[in-house]
Chains A and B, each alone.
Chain A
C-alpha cells in the first residue's frame, strides 16, 4: 500500500501523537513499539517513510537503521528522538537519515518533515 508510514516509538503517548499527526495530514500510519516488530513490518509491506525513535528497549533505533541499510533498504527515515549523542548523530549521518527532530517536538515541525519527505519521494 502506497503512502504507508511506519512509526517506531516505544513511548505510547508519543506514538499516539505521531500517528495522529500522520493521519491528520492524510497518510496512513502503522505503529510498533520496538525495532524487532518494525523489521517484520518492512519485510511484509511497502513502507514510504519510517518515523524512528532512537532510545528503545533491546534494539536501539540507530542499530535498527544500520541493520536495514545493510539489507539494502533505502526507505526514507526521519528520526524523532530526545536521545542524540554525537556518536548517534554520526550513525544517522552515515545512514542517510532525511531529517532529525528533537523531542519534545512540535506538530508543525513533524508535519512539515513528513510532507517534505513524502513529496520528494
Chain B
C-alpha cells in the first residue's frame, strides 16, 4: 500500500502526463497497470503498429529505434513511453526495445478509456497534459532547428555535434535506480512531517502553540491516511499560503487540498 502511494507520488511529481492527478485518480490509474519485467533486447512495440498500450519505465532503460534500427534515443526512469500514439490513436512512430533488463508498468488503451469514463476530470487533465508535452516538444524542435542552422552557417560538422549533444543529454538523465522505490523508516517519516509543518509555519509566518501543533500533526496524519504523499502535502502547503489570504492554521491546508490539486496546472 505505502509502496503504491510512493510510486503514485513519484509519477505525479515527475511524469508530465500525470501532472494534476489527484491521489485517488493516480491510485485508480495504478490499479489498471500491469507490472512486468522485460529482458535485454525485448521489443515492446514496433514502428507503424497500433498504439494500444502505454508503458511506464520504472527501472532499466529503453532504446527508441528509428529506420534501420538506428538508436534515436535511450530513455531512463521514470518516464512514459508511447503516450503520443496512445492518446492520439495514431500508429507507432518508432520501435521501442529494452536496452537492458527493465521493469515496466503497462496500460491497455481500453482500460484507460474506461478509467477516464469513471473519473470525469481525468480526460481533461490527460489532454491538457498532452498539449503541454507536445508544446514542449515543439519548442525543443524549434530550438534544435535554430541550433543546427547556426552550426551550418558556422561551417561545423552537424553529425559530430549531434552525437556530442546526445551524449550530454544522456549524461543529464537521472541514473536508473537499482533498488527501486526507497522504503522510509518511521523516524524518516516523522522527520518529514516535522519539516513540512515547519515549512507551513515559516511560510504562513505563524507560531503555533503546543495544542495547535498537536492538532496540526493530526491533520497531517489524516492527509497521509487519505493517500497524500509528503510531496503532495508540501505542494498543498505552498498553494494554500499563496492562495488563501491570511492563512494561520494548517487545518486549512487539509480542507483546501483538493482545490490545490485542481489548480496545480495553473501555477
**A residues near B, CB below 8 A?**
17, 20-21, 23-26, 106-108, 111-112, 115
Interface stretch of the complex, out of B46-54, B83-91, B240-248: B240-248
Question: Is A108 in contact with B244, judged by CB distance below 8 angstroms?
Answer: yes
Interface stretch of the complex, out of B16-24, B120-128, B165-173, B249-257: B249-257
Option from A17, A106, A111 in Cβ contact (under 8 Å) with B247: A111
Question: Is A24 in contact with B259, judged by CB distance below 8 angstroms?
Answer: no
New contact pairs (4) apart from A23-B249, A111-B244, A111-B252, CB-CB < 8 Å: A25-B246, A106-B256, A111-B247, A115-B245
- B residues near A26, Cβ cutoff 8 Å: 246, 248
Give A24 to B247 CA distance when docked, in angstroms: 6
- A residues near B252, Cβ cutoff 8 Å: 20-21, 24-25, 107, 111
Quick one: closest A residue to B206, CB to CB? A26
Give A32 to B11 CA distance when docked, in angstroms: 45
**Tally of B interface residues using CB under 8 Å:** 12
Residue from A23, A111, A115 with most neighbouring chain B CB atoms (10 Å)? A111
Quick one: closest B residue to A115, CB to CB? B245
Quick one: closest B residue to A113, CB to CB? B245
Question: Is A20 in contact with B251, judged by CB distance below 8 angstroms?
Answer: yes
Within the complex, what minimum Cβ distance (angstroms) separates A21 from chain B?
7
In terms of DSSP, what is the predominant structure of the interface of chain B?
A: loop
Within the complex, what minimum Cβ distance (angstroms) separates B121 from chain A?
15
Question: Is B245 in contact with A24, judged by CB distance below 8 angstroms?
Answer: no
Give A111 to B245 CA distance when docked, in angstroms: 7
- B residues near A115, Cβ cutoff 8 Å: 245-246
- A residues near B256, Cβ cutoff 8 Å: 106-108
Give A100 to B214 CA distance when docked, in angstroms: 35
Question: Is A107 in contact with B255, judged by CB distance below 8 angstroms?
Answer: yes
Give A95 to B244 CA distance when docked, in angstroms: 28
Per-residue interface assignment for chain B, residues 252 to 266, with 1 indicating a CB less than 8 Å from any chain A CB and 0 otherwise = 100110010000000
Question: Is A25 in contact with B245, judged by CB distance below 8 angstroms?
Answer: yes
Within the complex, what minimum Cβ distance (angstroms) separates B239 from chain A?
9
Question: Is B251 in contact with A107, judged by CB distance below 8 angstroms?
Answer: no
- B residues near A107, Cβ cutoff 8 Å: 244, 252, 255-256, 259
Quick one: closest B residue to A20, CB to CB? B251
- A residues near B244, Cβ cutoff 8 Å: 24-25, 107-108, 111-112
Give A17 to B258 CA distance when docked, in angstroms: 14
Q: What are 14 A-B contacts defined by CB distance under 8 Å?
A: A20-B249, A20-B255, A24-B247, A24-B248, A24-B252, A25-B244, A25-B246, A25-B248, A106-B256, A107-B244, A107-B259, A108-B256, A108-B259, A111-B247
Within the complex, what minimum Cβ distance (angstroms) separates A86 from chain B?
29
Residue from B245, B247, B249, B251 with most neighbouring chain A CB atoms (10 Å)? B245
Within the complex, what minimum Cβ distance (angstroms) separates B47 from chain A?
47
Quick one: closest B residue to A110, CB to CB? B244
Give A112 to B243 CA distance when docked, in angstroms: 9
Within the complex, what minimum Cβ distance (angstroms) separates B248 from chain A?
5
Quick one: closest B residue to A112, CB to CB? B245
List of 3 A-B pairs having minimum Cβ-Cβ separation, nearest first? A107-B256, A24-B252, A24-B249
